[in-house]
Structure 1
Amino acid sequence: MASIGLVAHDDKKDDMAAWALANAERLSRHTLFATGTTGGRIEAATGLSLTRLKSGPLGGDAQLGAMIVEGKLDAIVFFIDPLTAMPHDVDVKALTRLATLYDILFACNKSTADAVLAAI
């Protein structure tokens, strides 16, 4: 069983909910954490049990980052919107940096999310 963080930018939340629904059976075998709004969308679409953190801009990204540092996350699936400027871009970069520094699985789109889920 792995601990997985789930995050999606606003224009990618539908994609995340659809991906989680398509992979609900496999995701149900793991401990899931999600930023606030993303977590709500996933719960509504799938019925999966997960721990909801703060919304990304309100500190949810930082909470996931702290979990990485503490060794409490094995993977992050972060559906990033490359076409929209994010006011909390610094937090996004920090989360990406920590995932890289601590060498955890990090997926930023559906293809890599599928590969990460298959690997754990």
Structure 2
Amino acid sequence: MSRISFTSATLPARKRIALVAHDHCKEFLLDWSVRQRERLAKHQLLATGTTGLLLGQRLQLPVECMISGPLGGDQQLGARIAERRVDMLVFFWDPFEPQPHDPDIKALLRVAAVWNIPVACNESSADYMLASTLLEQQHDYRIPDYQTYLAGRG
């Protein structure tokens, strides 16, 4: 099997930002999102189940909700990333508590790495990501060249 080749794509100025938090980290994400509300309001927000409902209530902003993470919401977001329908991932995960859907979480983080989208796993990295000058402008980045990959399989 040959290595995959890459091409470039452009992240839009208005990002589609996925927000995810484990149960013990939901309040951290909610507090962070309130502090970042002005920046987040300029973008399209997506989230897994309960996190999305809580964010919508707290921020009074539209949030597209997937199903709950343990029921497949992480996989829904992963599919959106692979379809290039998510541009950034903010995932406040709990490093102290084992998760029953850990394989789904690892798959979500893996697909985010494969498709080269920005990922923040805690408050500090999320602050840096939202403070970036690239947040509100188009940005060229490298992604897998899926068309070349398919052509090489035939």
Q: TM-score range by the shorter chain?
A: over 0.9
Does residue 48 (structure 1) correspond to residue 58 (structure 2)? The answer is: no
SS class of match (2:32)? helix
SS class of match (1:76)? strand
Give how far 1:118 is off.
2.0
Does residue 14 (structure 1) correspond to residue 27 (structure 2)? The answer is: yes
Whether contact under 8 Å (1:18, 1:45) holds in the other structure is no
Query: Residue type of the partner of 2:63?
Result: L
**Match for residue 84 of structure 1?**
97
Whether contact under 8 Å (2:67, 2:73) holds in the other structure is yes
Q: 1:64 aligns with which of 77, 91, 95?
A: 77
Structure 2: any 5+ residue segments left out of the alignment? Answer: 1-13, 136-154
Give how far 1:35 is off.
0.3
Structure 1: any 5+ residue segments left out of the alignment? Answer: none
**Match for residue 5 of structure 2?**
none
> Which of these two proteins has the greater Rg computed from alpha carbons?
2
- Aligned-partner Cα distance in 2 for 1:97–1:41: 26
- Aligned-partner Cα distance in 2 for 1:44–1:15: 15
- Aligned-partner Cα distance in 2 for 1:104–1:51: 19
Q: TM-score, normalised by structure 2?
A: 0.76
Give how far 1:43 is off.
1.4
Q: TM-score, normalised by structure 1?
A: 0.97
Give the structure with the higher percent helix: 1
Whether contact under 8 Å (1:5, 1:77) holds in the other structure is yes
- Aligned-partner Cα distance in 1 for 2:76–2:124: 25
Q: Whose relative contact order is higher, 1 or 2, with alpha carbons under 8 Å and at least 6 apart?
A: 2
Give how far 1:72 is off.
0.7
- Aligned-partner Cα distance in 2 for 1:110–1:48: 20
Whether contact under 8 Å (1:7, 1:77) holds in the other structure is yes
**Match for residue 106 of structure 1?**
119
Calculate percent identity across the aligned residue pairs. Answer: 47
